[in-house]
Chains A and B, each alone.
Chain A
Amino acid sequence: DAKTTQPPSMDCAEGRAANLPCNHSTISGNEYVYWYRQIHSQGPQYIIHGLKNNETNEMASLIITEDRKSSTLILPHATLRDTAVYYCIVRSHTGANSKLTFGKGITLSVRP
Chain B
Amino acid sequence: EAQVTQNPRYLITVTGKKLTVTCSQNMNHEYMSWYRQDPGLGLRQIYYSMNVEVTDKGDVPEGYKVSRKEKRNFPLILESPSPNQTSLYFCASSLGRMNTEAFFGQGTRLTVV
Instruction: Give the interface of A toward B (CB within 8 A).
Output: 32, 34, 41-46, 49, 93, 96-100, 102-105
Task: Flag if B98 contacts A98 (CB, 8 Å).
Answer: yes
B86 to nearest A CB, angstroms?
A: 14
Of the candidates B92, B99, B109, the one having the most CB atoms from chain A within 10 angstroms of its own CB is B92
Interface size on B, residues (CB 8 A): 28
Given A96-B50, A99-B45, A102-B42: A45 touches B104 (CB 8 Å cut-off): yes
Complex CA gap A51/B98 in Å reads 14
Complex CA gap A100/B94 in Å reads 12
Task: Flag if B48 contacts A99 (CB, 8 Å).
Answer: yes
> Within 8 Å CB of B33, what residues of A?
98-99
Given A102-B42, A102-B43: A42 touches B106 (CB 8 Å cut-off): yes
> Within 8 Å CB of A43, what residues of B?
4, 90, 92, 104-107
Given A42-B107, A103-B42: A97 touches B102 (CB 8 Å cut-off): no
A76 to nearest B CB, angstroms?
A: 21
Contact of A97 among B48, B92, B99, B105 (CB under 8 A): B48
Task: Flag if A98 contacts B99 (CB, 8 Å).
Answer: yes
Query: What 0/1 readout, one digit per residue, does chain B (4-19) give for beta carbons within 8 Å of chain A?
Result: 1000000000000000
Task: Flag if B42 contacts A44 (CB, 8 Å).
Answer: no
Task: Flag if A97 contacts B104 (CB, 8 Å).
Answer: no
A43 to nearest B CB, angstroms?
A: 3
A24 to nearest B CB, angstroms?
A: 16
Task: Flag if A46 contacts B43 (CB, 8 Å).
Answer: no
> Within 8 Å CB of B101, what residues of A?
46
Complex CA gap A32/B42 in Å reads 20
